[in-house]
Amino acid sequence: MSGEHNRSMNRRTILKAAGGAGAALGLGGIVSATPGREPGPKEDEILVGVADDTALASVRSTVTTAVPDDASIVHENETLEYVAVRLADDEPRAMESTIERLERQPGVEYAEPNVTRYPLERPNDPGFDQQYAPQQVRADQAWNTEVGSMDVTIAVIDQGVQYDHDDLADRFQGGNGYDFVDRDGDPYPAGASENHGTHVSGCAAATTGNGAGTAGISNCRLISGRALGNGGGSMGDIADAIQWAADQGADIINMSLGGAGPSQTGRRAINYAFQNGALPIAAAGNDGGSVSYPAAYQNCVAVSAIDENENLASFSNRGPEINVAAPGVDVLAPVPFGEYETMSGTSMACPVASGVAALGKSANPNLSPQQLWNLLEQTAVDIGLPPRYQGAGRVDALNIVGGDGGGGDPGDCGEERETASADGELSGGWWGDSDTYSYSLRTSNPCEATVSISGPSNADFDLYLTLDGREPTTSDYDEASRNQGSQESITVDLTGNEELGLLVDAYSGSGSYTIQLEELGK
């Protein structure tokens, strides 16, 4: 083991000395960090978002004049339109007053702390010496139809990945990735203690059928965005990695990480990925509480963890944001260097779900991120848990490749169509002005329904939807659309539900709006 470790570390050292010249993947719109900027958590930094109608250059000068003399801009991302400002004094009161001052500046949409996210893992049982996860999601049966395509890419945003591990090397072709911690072209782990990213990659795509090690869910391509160290990673580094992954053409972005509250920079990154061809999938969290971020963002699939008996893991977070469940207790997968271990956590459930989604994308290469999301939920298996525990159910590989009632484009519902509309008006925002509606399905065999809202440009209206007819609230709903502005839309798969419940909430602004409902039948 020590010989393999030394050889691997030498490889990383050589690549770093060469400036990552062997890396085949570009950085897109990311501006390199200021030299000397420390990797990992950055608790002394503020992320400042640029408003849509403002140039980053003009905000740069505005920010410079608004922060203390000993503060400085240390990083910029032109694509996601934010800058990172480092303060000499990270005392909470100084941080709060600087954020308040920045938020009052013209051209600044938001200012927020550069919070830290952490790998989401749990202690494991070292006596558990065989896999069950692929069998539980029926991947072994799905492989008769589809084992996974190298044309489908899973980006792993995590700690470094040992991309030359015997069970992973075949999955890394055409470039290994990028290191957003050290800002170089080699996303290798810094040492054996950085085992999380390698294990996560193995859960999703350890090479199946190579006569060695373990079997991942899919034989799809992997790329690594190293955004976490042993102490976690900053929101800025993670956002950069998410944007980079989408720019590299990733089909699925696996994020087995979380912590802290919502971040507007993180939300921008998730929305950017979703709108540019990638499906973000994230771990729900491991403290048994509400769903953590980034999993709780609107355009991100949230995955809870179940055990071998398909009970919700005691540590798994739960809530209305949960979309699917996957095995996450005592999951066996590779770790550095050439070893294998069992680990537990929604961190393990997340890449199992990503691997199943990758099989679905391999079998249906033309699916958009939303269609792939729909298919992942549509083919999930109800294991008898409440929706806030399992979402649509346990992910199922055989179903998603079309081997047992799944597969195909979920948008092809048939010719039967019903439409309806309603007009309303909301005034105010933060005090909670809202309207509610219900809609009884009219097609003989419902397949999907789309709810859209169109309102004044200066308002921010949110949609909340239930699938059983109950009146939604902003904390009790099945689906929601909460992007900025008042042009919102939700599309949901249906399996014979009798009625939809709808809440239109004025987050800010006021004015008249129109709701459109379109229902498709099979």
Catalytically annotated residues: 158, 196, 347
3-state secondary structure of 152: coil
436 vs 452: CA distance, rounded Å: 14
385 vs 103: CA distance, rounded Å: 43
Contact indicator for 339, 333 with CB cutoff of 8 Å = no
395 vs 205: CA distance, rounded Å: 16
Q: What angle, rounded to 10 degrees, do the helices at 346-363 and 196-205 form?
A: 40
Report the 3 state secondary structure along 83-140.
EEEECCCCCHHHHHHHHHHHHCCCCEEEEEECCEEEECCECCCCCCCCCCHHHHCCHH
Looking at residue 394, the DSSP 8-state letter turns out to be: B
Which residue shows structure tokens 């922060």? 67
Contact indicator for 160, 182 with CB cutoff of 8 Å = no
Which residue shows structure tokens 């608790």? 43
Tokens of 322: 């949960």
Q: What amino acid occupies position 341?
A: E
Helix%, strand%, coil% for the chain, nearest 5: 25, 30, 50
Contact indicator for 98, 89 with CB cutoff of 8 Å = no
Tokens of 33: 């960090």
365 vs 153: CA distance, rounded Å: 11
Phi, psi values for residue 133, rounded to 5°: -60, -50
116 vs 121: CA distance, rounded Å: 16
Looking at residue 35, the DSSP 8-state letter turns out to be: T
What's the alpha-carbon Rg for the chain, to the nearest Å?
A: 23
Run of H or E residues at 196: helix 196-205
Pick the closest to residue 204 from 345, 301, 334 (CA basis): 334
Pick the closest to residue 219 from 44, 401, 459, 473 (CA basis): 401
